[in-house]
Amino acid sequence: MTNCVYIFGNGLDLRMGMPTSYPDFLKYYEGIKTSDYTVASIKQSFLSKVKIEKGQEWKDLEIALGLFTKDVFDVESFKDFYRDISSALKEYLTLAEENLPNLSPDDEIKFWEDLMFPEDYLHVKSRKKVFDIYSNKDKVTANIINFNYTNTLEHLLSSKKDAFNGYGDSSRSSHFWVRDIKHVHGKLNESDLLFGVNDLSQIENEDFCMDENFQDLIIKPKGNEELGTGVDTECASLISEADIFYIYGTSLGPTDKLWWDCILRRFMNSNAILLYFHYTSQKVKTDLLERDYIGIERDLRKLVMERIGIEGDIKSFRNRIFVARNADIFPIYPKRVIIV
């Protein structure tokens, strides 16, 4: 039995045509009225800051929140602002989810088959052969750790739902089933949405760090711990037993460092392998040779190692870290527009 852990980020929702990027949300947030004068003032200051700042870190809304704490002098006012933007995010994602596309039978099949064999999207045939040798996927139990708040994955897998055993399709794949989908940051319309940073080092205003109620709101791991749902412990356990990690739709950013650390521990203390799907909006040449992709994969493997914290020679992990760039995995839909 091979244990596979899939980690999905916002890239999946974007692929489904949902306008869930942070710029999309901030445009919505800017357009809605905030009645409280103090909160409205902080909101305007934050939105202006995001537009003005050119640093890469300000392009990540959660990191930006931590940086912005230095521009607010009263922790209670910041907490009110946080509640306001968090409520707006929940409202926005609810609207986005209402516009999920109806899947065609062909797209349902594509999603399921892509989920079974993501390695089919490796660019170099010889690399896929190496993956097959090291993965040993005769019979697979899969678990999904979903960083998204939306129910997109449940929607995509609805036709495979089994009342007793998660998700499966014995007619097409008796060797593969998905045991569960874990929403580690909360689930829309079912729980609080954990929206913030990974730890206190990502909070610029040190005075705010002394306020435990502030920590409960903006430190995601602490929020999980205090809510006591156990989903964080369950996900850590799944990672600790994984043989293969498939990571899609996330930039491996610092606000989820807790989970990259968990993967790092499993990776370094086992023979687990990892396949990371990287996306770039830059124009990519389509007439590349397989040897070109070797260099691309080398660079992306280095990126994965840096962001997860894997130390060592890149070559020594060539048969354990696999990457695919801008792969045509999973169905794709045109971007939808939310009309408010």
DSSP code string of 256-308: GHHHHHHHHHHHHTS--EEEEEE---S---SS--HHHHHHHHHHHHHHHHHHH
Q: Which two tokens stand for residue 247?
A: 């990571």
pLDDT value at residue 219? 98
Same domain, 238 and 123: yes
pLDDT band of 165, cuts 50, 70, 90: confident
pLDDT value at residue 281? 81
Strand-by-strand arrangement of the 173-183 sheet? 161-162, 166-169, 173-183, 140-146, 2-8, 244-248, 273-278, 321-325
The answer to whether residue 286 scores a pLDDT higher than 80 is no
Scan for tokens 């594509």, then name that residue: 110
Same domain, 219 and 160: no
Same domain, 208 and 250: no
pLDDT value at residue 263? 99
Q: What is the mean pLDDT of residues 281-302?
A: 84
Helices 37-52 and 61-68 cross at an angle (nearest 10°) of: 120
Same domain, 168 and 257: yes
As a whole-number percent, the residues of the chain with pLDDT over 70 amount to: 99
Same domain, 241 and 140: yes
Calculate the average pLDDT of the chain. Answer: 93
Same domain, 125 and 168: yes
**pLDDT tens-place string over residues 220-271:** 999 999 999 999 999 999 999 999 999 999 999 999 999 999 999 999 999 9
DSSP assigned state of 98: T
Same domain, 242 and 133: yes
Distance, CA of 110 to CA of 206 (rounded, Å): 49
pTM exceeds 0.85: yes
The answer to whether residue 18 scores a pLDDT higher than 80 is yes
Those residues whose C-beta lies under 8 Å from the C-beta of residue 339, and which sit 6 or more positions away, are none
Same domain, 35 and 155: no
Same domain, 48 and 186: no
pLDDT value at residue 101? 86
Q: What is the mean pLDDT of residues 113-127?
A: 93
Which candidate, 88, 92, 76, 87, places its Cα nearest to that of 38?
76
* Cα–chain center distance at 318: 24
Distance, CA of 124 to CA of 293 (rounded, Å): 7
pLDDT value at residue 59? 82
- End-to-end, the C-alpha distance of the chain in Å comes to 48
The answer to whether residue 50 scores a pLDDT higher than 70 is yes
Q: Examine residue 335 and state whether it is found in any structural domain, yes or no.
A: no
Residue-number span of the structural domain to which 166 is assigned: 2-17+103-191+229-325
Please say whether the beta carbons of 97 and 188 come within 8 A. Answer: yes
The answer to whether residue 284 scores a pLDDT higher than 90 is no
Which candidate, 19, 23, 22, 44, places its Cα nearest to that of 33?
44
CATH number at residue 254: 3.40.50
CB 226: neighbour CB atoms within 10 A? 15
The answer to whether residue 1 scores a pLDDT higher than 70 is yes
pLDDT value at residue 163? 64
As a whole-number percent, the residues of the chain with pLDDT over 90 amount to: 79
Q: Examine residue 147 and state whether it is found in any structural domain, yes or no.
A: yes
Same domain, 210 and 320: no
Q: Examine residue 331 and state whether it is found in any structural domain, yes or no.
A: no
Q: Examine residue 337 and state whether it is found in any structural domain, yes or no.
A: no
The answer to whether residue 32 scores a pLDDT higher than 90 is yes
Please say whether the beta carbons of 147 and 194 come within 8 A. Answer: no
Those residues whose C-beta lies under 8 Å from the C-beta of residue 172, and which sit 6 or more positions away, are 109, 112, 113
> Domain total for the chain?
2
